[in-house]
């Protein structure tokens, strides 16, 4: 996800042009309900700028190659620990603000989906607790239920009932940020749930990683996907 470009060493006119392009790109993403963030697998000039900023602080020792690789993840986690942020390895709004001293340019949450995703991202790195439904520890359905409750929406407690009763079914090709995505994991039927973020990614409480961001295209989740429900709009 390439939201920003490095502006060091460029003239004033070029900087203004780049900022205008960035804001236009962010407007487009926001219009689609996508909250800006960066994670492993992303690439481009925005990642190079993040690497450069991390390098300035002594957190990143590798090449500023514009690839959000393992070394970049490790540097982001080190920066987050130093700044008392949850060490998720994802550059969310809070991490970006701490790193650059400003918010993502041109972005403000405008839709209910934006607010749901932003709420979910506040709990990145929260530990997994089976049966947990508070910030002290979440399981998958407890996390989803809690995030939506913080936005005034009541959901059933368990993944299977959420899949059966919450909102309406939606085709995978029609997914929008804020939709619930379901997977068959430890038992038959819908036994795991997350919140779709856009761009093929979803946020969820993983039993091995706690609250984290994953891709629908990951081998594990691609083969276990069972469906989605829309509770917004």
**Of 26, 90, 116, 140, which residue is the catalytic one?**
140
Is 23 one of the annotated active-site residues of the chain? no
**Of 67, 77, 192, 229, which residue is the catalytic one?**
192
Is 192 one of the annotated active-site residues of the chain? yes
On the CB side of 108, CA atoms within 13 Å amount to 2
E strand map for the chain: 133-134, 137-138, 168-169, 180-183, 192-198, 201-206, 210-215, 225-230
Is 106 one of the annotated active-site residues of the chain? no
E strand map for 5-93: none
CA 36 to chain centre: 8
**Count of C-beta atoms within a 10 Å radius of residue 122:** 15
Q: Please tell me the distance from the alpha carbon of residue 183 to that of residue 172, in angstroms, as a whole number.
A: 12
Pairing between β-strand 168-169 and β-strand 225-230 as defined by DSSP bridges = antiparallel
Pairing between β-strand 225-230 and β-strand 180-183 as defined by DSSP bridges = antiparallel
**Of 204, 212, 228, 232, which residue is the catalytic one?**
204
Active-site positions read 140, 192, 204
């Amino acid at each position: 996800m390439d939201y920003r470009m490095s502006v060091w060493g460029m003239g004033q006119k070029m900087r203004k042009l780049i900022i205008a392009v960035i804001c236009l790109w962010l407007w487009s993403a926001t219009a689609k309900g996508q909250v800006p963030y960066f994670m492993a697998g992303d690439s481009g000039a925005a990642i190079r700028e993040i690497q450069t900023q991390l390098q300035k602080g002594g957190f990143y020792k590798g090449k500023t190659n514009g690839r959000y690789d393992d070394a970049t993840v490790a540097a982001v986690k080190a920066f987050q620990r130093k700044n008392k942020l949850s060490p998720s390895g994802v550059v969310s709004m809070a991490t970006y603000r701490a790193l650059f001293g400003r918010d993502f340019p041109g972005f403000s949450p405008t839709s209910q989906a934006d607010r749901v995703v932003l709420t979910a991202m506040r709990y990145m790195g929260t530990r997994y607790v089976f049966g947990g439904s508070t910030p002290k520890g979440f399981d998958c359905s407890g996390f989803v239920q809690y995030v939506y409750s913080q936005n005034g929406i009541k959901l059933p407690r368990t993944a299977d009932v959420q899949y059966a009763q919450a909102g309406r079914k939606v085709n995978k090709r029609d997914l929008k940020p804020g939709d619930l995505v379901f997977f068959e994991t430890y038992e038959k039927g819908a036994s795991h749930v997350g919140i779709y973020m856009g761009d093929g990614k979803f946020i969820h409480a993983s039993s091995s990683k706690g609250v984290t961001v994953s891709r629908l295209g990951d081998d594990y989740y691609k083969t276990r996907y069972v469906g989605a429900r829309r509770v917004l709009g």
